[in-house]
Amino acid sequence: MAGLGFAGAAKPMEIQARFRAGWVQYAAVTLGGAGGIAVVLAVFNLLQKQPADGFKLLVAWGPYPFIILVGLAIVGKFLSRLSDSLQTTFSAVVESSQQSASAHTETAKAVTTLADATTRLAEQGGHSADEVRRLAIFAAQEFPSVYERFDRTDAALGKLTGAVTQLLERGRDGN
């Protein structure tokens, strides 16, 4: 078992699970916010400089751009919560895997201890075999008397059952 790493001291595995970490997350948040601000400023600037044309444009677009913006905000929050849930789930899976690996290491140690104990027991087997043989002979001699006791107990229980049945019948009849 030395090839599996069970012979030496167990080394704790350290696995880190991160979902969209570091500069990628920072860039996504920055670009997302900057894009939203740019759209709002462009619409505000258009409405400020050319209000008539700006309102015509808004009327021509209809309510769909605003619905899409609200939808994107809702989907963004949902995806953010989903990301947190996935991170929590993956962290729990990693922790469970680490605990499982630790348990397997302990099991391997226990199997090694059991193998050593079995080897020692086999070395003492000559004395134990004689004792087991003597116990088997004693048990074989005692079994007939045990069966006789069971037969006597069964007969006594049969008589008691009959007596109880008679008492119950008398109680029902009112005698």
- Residues 119, 147 within the same domain: no
Would you say residue 122 lies in a domain?
yes
SS (H, E, C) 66-120: HHHHHHHHHHHHHHHHHHHHHHHHHHHHHHHHHHHHHHHHHHHHHHHHHHHHHHH
How far is it, in rounded angstroms, from Cα 79 to Cα 67?
A: 18
> Does this model's pTM top 0.75?
no
- Residues 41, 122 within the same domain: yes
| 120 token code pair | 């020692």
Q: Which structural domain, as residue segments, surrounds residue 134?
A: 127-169
Domain count, the chain: 2
Q: Decide: 104 and 112 in contact? Cβ < 8 Å.
A: no
How far is it, in rounded angstroms, from Cα 162 to Cα 155?
A: 11
Instruction: Convert the pLDDT of each residue in 96-114 to its tens digit.
Output: 888 888 888 888 888 888 8
- Residues 108, 163 within the same domain: no
- Residues 114, 134 within the same domain: no
Instruction: Convert the pLDDT of each residue in 22-75 to its tens digit.
Output: 556 666 666 666 777 777 788 788 788 888 887 787 788 888 877 887 887 788
For residue 70, what are the CA distances in angstroms to 79, 83, 84, 102, 104?
14, 20, 21, 48, 51
